[in-house]
Structure 1
């Protein structure tokens, strides 16, 4: 995901979605998916990980891992990038593979100067919405 800064007072930022696998762009999001991603985008914008203008340096890469191979994600990772560098990370882990993420690891994902419960809620919300896409 790439977020671009709001242009002025009262305007929301713009979020663009690209789906890739193994760092290869598969496709852009469809209109139907964009409607579904509305909640996801609103949560991401609260993370204040914006680009000025049309820039794409700051972006979020979110992906799931299924080392057990049973088709259910045991970990969902969020990498907040500044160019090729990962500026900070967050993750949600399903410790007993029951579909619930018992452990949320996050730093200050909303850039308010504190790593707290709000950051963990934002990560949990991003993970929940991401998994609705089936990726």
Structure 2
């Protein structure tokens, strides 16, 4: 079942998910700070829990580009997003960092989507 789900998501779709869902959620949480509705934290937690479904677990350890991306999703990104979703209260500086992270994430993946779209 997981293979069927993964087969439906090409890199363009993954880029759009990062732009419109993950990046937007992070930017909104960082912008609204303590006034963020709880459902946004729950949605962020759900997105983190989808990482094992959508991101392949590397079969062997190496420092190749895609292997590093996959390992980072499991060891850094998923725990970080789950921590944000669980704690839900931060200092203003952390909220500002979360907002910047969301904007940066959306910008980077928007650029990657654009380059993939215009690839010949």
Larger RCO (alpha carbons 8 Å, 6+ apart):
2
More strand by share: 1
TM-score category (smaller protein):
under 0.3
Q: TM-score by structure 1 length? A: 0.24
More helix by share: 2
Q: TM-score by structure 2 length? A: 0.26
